[in-house]
Structure 1
Amino acid sequence: MPPLVKGTVPFGAHRTWYRLTGTPGGEPPAVVVVHGGPGSTHDYLANLAGLAGRGWPVVHYDQLGNGGSTHLPDADPGFWTVRLFLAELDNLLRRLDIADNYVLCGHSWGGALAAAHAAARPAGLRGLVVVSSPASYPLWSREMKVLRDALPPGVDEVLRRHEAAGTTDSAEYRQASAVFYARHVCRLRPWPRDYQASYYEIYNDPTVYRTMNGPNEFHVVGTLRDWSVTKALPEITVPSLVISGRHDEATPAVVRPFRDLIPDVRWEVLEDSSHLPHLEEPARFFEVLEGFLEARCRQGNRSRKEP
């Protein structure tokens, strides 16, 4: 079994929780897993630790504000910014001494954050994996309307009524939201335990999620509503892989900018998945991911495009 280390690293006056599976320092770069939300936790991405059994050290971490990291429920909403989470990621890489040889694998919001990091062209980055991520939140919001319009009759009317009234915590709203989630977030029944763990972490402390995103996946009214990484994508020079699901809330229109604008990129769509392809189609997901890592991301095969 690969060695497992859990702990925290200081980040300013706060602490970031991490879990390291495997031993970094060899030829394969560490795979750093960047979870979604913002305001979720690493739990629903725990099965990526299986890469360590194939020689790839894996780092999971909980972003500030959730999970095992410092919680700040009374922070000013202006505290929670993209810049903050980019700084936290940079700090983690340095503190774990992996900044000279790593791959980022980001899911949903984490993929957009990872792309913003990659666009700065850090010297030690060997590859980028973006899973079910929005390149643009304005585009995401437009696509959410498309998906909502296709829900069964009456469902979106219930959603809109409660959104207008500010009653998104009501049981009726949650029940209507579940229809969307069952189609476009997780098509498995019951939900996998790892996903439930992250879902309840958000429920227990929704500070970051509510501030930056909103009450749910399809009603983005938080501070991210106007944010986009699209203009930065042409600056990414490392080999990149994009994965999404056929039934994903990250629709083809949402994902396509990664494919169109990153110079060295491949896009794989998993036919039986929605927003959690690593849980909905794990065999196919890991086949695609490991193939990419082996072919493009080992230290001796960097394949970097110089600016």
Structure 2
Amino acid sequence: MTYPEPPTIEAEVDFKVEGARKPCKTWYTIFGDLKSGVRPLVCLHGGPGAAHNYIRPMRFLAITHSIPVIMYDQLGVGNSTHLPEKMGDGKFWTVSLFLAELDNLLKHLGIQDDYDIIGQSWGGLLGACHAITQPKGLHRLILANSVASMTMWVEAANSLRRDLPKDVQDTLLAHETDGTTDSPEYETAMEVFYRKHVCRVNPYPKDWEDTEAAIKADGTVYLTMNGPSEFFITGTLKDFSIVDELHKIVVPTLLLNGKYDEATDYVMQPFFDKIEKVKWVRFAESSHTPQLEETDEFLRVVGGYLKA
């Protein structure tokens, strides 16, 4: 289905970052009317460092369910301040930094006392970390295609890799072993995994291509915190886990993943086991990006949950 474009505002907010040694700004965009009286939805993109573009279909919730939708580019990517000089600086690029950025945006918009959050992939991990602190204004949480334990993520990725053609597996392993993951051969082999488990729309939608372009333009955050690919995790998040803290999430929570998702049921299970008020929906025709792969159904599920 084709949807009309919602009213849109783009702006920036100053974000004071210790150690940045220069002024920083977070770019954001609002779809719909923040003054409508309807609780707004704040969308957290993945990566880390993947930019907001590929979650843009979520903006249509402003049309289908009259929900004001807020998206932003996290520090270091897209339209927000870039810090390429911080490449590899694991002490700078931390979960705490991005939690502070989220809090700063909520306060700037004046919605810190009443809002919902949807976090996709890394954005879900970030959203869960936010919810663990039990902020008074958070009403509902949606964790889409996300992860609570990076060790479990890697285990799931390794299992999915074993189902790839042997020549693809061999190419991936050879370049990972040799430290040549920036080679064209590795990228070609990587695409085989991505086409099966990350985004199954062919050709890729423009929103997805725009996000890929953003990572290629500045991979500082992605390479530092994640690593060369979705399934070869070498960055600072490699051993990160919030499994033992998930019981602190007290708001109603919706879990989303796809049948072919790299965020497998095994990866999502800790959220379901540990969060008391939880519901889980799986998209039958999607992998990691149901907002792109099954847009209509995604809007129906998410909008219906938020309006229930």
CA distance in 2, matches of 1:229, 1:40: 21
Other structure's SS at 2:166 match: coil
- 1:101 lines up with 2:114 in the alignment: yes
CA distance in 2, matches of 1:250, 1:185: 9
1:113-124 pair list within 5 angstroms? 113-124=126-137
- 1:272 lines up with 2:285 in the alignment: yes
* 1:108-154 alpha-carbon deviations (Å, 9 max, x no partner): 00001001101111111110001100111011011111011111122
CA distance in 2, matches of 1:157, 1:222: 22
Aligned to 2:165: 152
Aligned to 1:301: none
- 1:35 lines up with 2:45 in the alignment: yes
**AA partner of residue 18 (structure 1):** Y
* 1:239-260 alpha-carbon deviations (Å, 9 max, x no partner): 1101100000001100111111
CA distance in 2, matches of 1:3, 1:115: 29
CA-atom RMSD in angstroms: 1.1
Higher mean Cα deviation, 94-103 or 2-11? Answer: 2-11
Aligned to 2:30: 20
Alignment match of 2:250 (pick from 234, 237, 250): 237
- 1:60 lines up with 2:71 in the alignment: yes
Structure 2, unmatched stretches of 5+, are 17-22
Aligned to 1:50: 60
Tell me if structure 2 keeps the 8 A contact 1:32–1:102. Answer: yes
Other structure's SS at 1:267 match: strand
Other structure's SS at 1:86 match: helix
Other structure's SS at 1:150 match: coil
- 1:281 lines up with 2:291 in the alignment: no
Aligned to 1:223: 236
Alignment match of 2:307 (pick from 290, 294, 300): 294
Other structure's SS at 2:237 match: helix
Counting aligned pairs with the same residue, the percent is 47
1:195-210 pair list within 5 angstroms? 195-210=208-223
Tell me if structure 2 keeps the 8 A contact 1:25–1:98. Answer: no
CA distance in 1, matches of 2:36, 2:185: 53
Aligned to 1:303: none
1:62-101 pair list within 5 angstroms? 62-75=73-86, 76-101=89-114
Number of residues of Structure 1 aligned to a counterpart in Structure 2: 295
Alignment match of 1:250 (pick from 263, 267, 273): 263
Alignment match of 1:262 (pick from 239, 255, 275): 275
**AA partner of residue 148 (structure 1):** R
- 1:138 lines up with 2:138 in the alignment: no
Other structure's SS at 2:98 match: helix
Aligned to 2:8: 4
CA distance in 1, matches of 2:60, 2:41: 11
Other structure's SS at 1:196 match: helix
Aligned to 1:212: 225
**AA partner of residue 59 (structure 2):** A
Tell me if structure 1 keeps the 8 A contact 2:258–2:282. Answer: yes
Aligned to 2:19: none
Tell me if structure 2 keeps the 8 A contact 1:128–1:241. Answer: yes
TM-score after normalising by structure 2: 0.94
- 1:172 lines up with 2:185 in the alignment: yes
* 1:66-90 alpha-carbon deviations (Å, 9 max, x no partner): 0110000002342100000001001
Other structure's SS at 2:223 match: helix
Stretches of 4+ moved more than 4 A in 1?
none
**AA partner of residue 96 (structure 2):** R
Aligned to 1:302: none
Other structure's SS at 2:256 match: strand
Tell me if structure 2 keeps the 8 A contact 1:40–1:66. Answer: yes
CA distance in 2, matches of 1:50, 1:183: 26
CA distance in 1, matches of 2:32, 2:301: 21
TM-score after normalising by structure 1: 0.94
Q: CA deviation at 1:65?
A: 0.1
Tell me if structure 1 keeps the 8 A contact 2:6–2:60. Answer: no
**AA partner of residue 153 (structure 1):** K
Other structure's SS at 1:224 match: coil
Q: CA deviation at 1:3?
A: 3.2
CA distance in 1, matches of 2:136, 2:296: 32
CA distance in 1, matches of 2:196, 2:84: 31
